[in-house]
Chain A
Amino acid sequence: MKVAIAGAGAVGTFIARDLAAAGHEVHLLEKEAKVVDRLRSTTVNVHWHAIDACEYESLDLAGISDVDVMVAATGDDEDNLVISLLAKQEFAVPRVIARVNNPKNHWLFDETWGVDVAVSTPHLLTALVEEAVSVGSLVRLLSLDGGARLVELTLAADSPAVGRSLAQLAVPRDASIVAVVRARHVIVPHGDTTLAAGDEVIALVTGEVEEQLAALLAV
Chain B
Amino acid sequence: MILGKVIGNVVSTVKAKGYESKKILIVQPVDAGGNAKGKSFLAIDAVQAGVGDTVIIIEEGNSARDVIKEKESYTIKTVIAGIVDEVNLQ
A interacts with B: no
